[in-house]
Each structure stands twice: as structure tokens, then as C-alpha cells.
Amino acid sequence: MRITILAFAQARDVFGFSERTVDCSAADTPRSIVEKFSVSADLTFLRVALDQEYCDWDTPVGPARELALMPPVSGG
């Protein structure tokens, strides 16, 4: 299967793209997918979402079509 990775704000600067499509399996996790193209990336400052729902870095992607990488959001 293929999944589209969207990178926002600082993630776009760190990874060097705003959108990229990669091959993966349903058992892959956001962490394992990101490590395929950036082994040394510091993921501690990023949040991850699958199909617009926040999730853990080690959650299997399952049937998700979109993986989003973004900084934590704060509001007032």
C-alpha cells in the first residue's frame, strides 16, 4: 500500500518536503515509516496523526491513507 506523508511547520524544514508518498504495509508504524527516509530525525518535538486523528508513534498505520507530522499545537 501507499501512504501520503504531510509535513507541517518545523517538520517541513527538518524533512525537506511538505508532501511525499511512500510504500508501506498496514503493520508499519509512523516511527518505522519516518525512519525509512530519516534515520536520525528527532521525533520528540513532533506530533503524529493518521487520517487526521492524533496517534502514538508506535501505532500500526492499518488502512490509513495519510500520515501527518506536525509540531504540538497550543492555543489560548
**Tally of structural domains, the chain:** 1
Count CA atoms within 13 Å of residue 2 on its CB side: 5
25-76: pLDDT as tens digits:
999 999 999 999 888 888 888 999 999 999 999 999 999 999 999 987 765 5
Domain of 24 in residue numbering reads as 2-70
Say if 42 falls within a structural domain.
Answer: yes
d(CA 63, CA 46): 22
According to the model, what pLDDT value does residue 74 have? Answer: 60
pLDDT in tens, 19-29: 999 999 999 99
In a domain, 76, yes or no: no
Q: Is residue 65 part of a domain?
A: yes
- Give me the CATH number covering residue 48: 3.10.20.30
Give a yes or no: residue 75 inside a domain: no
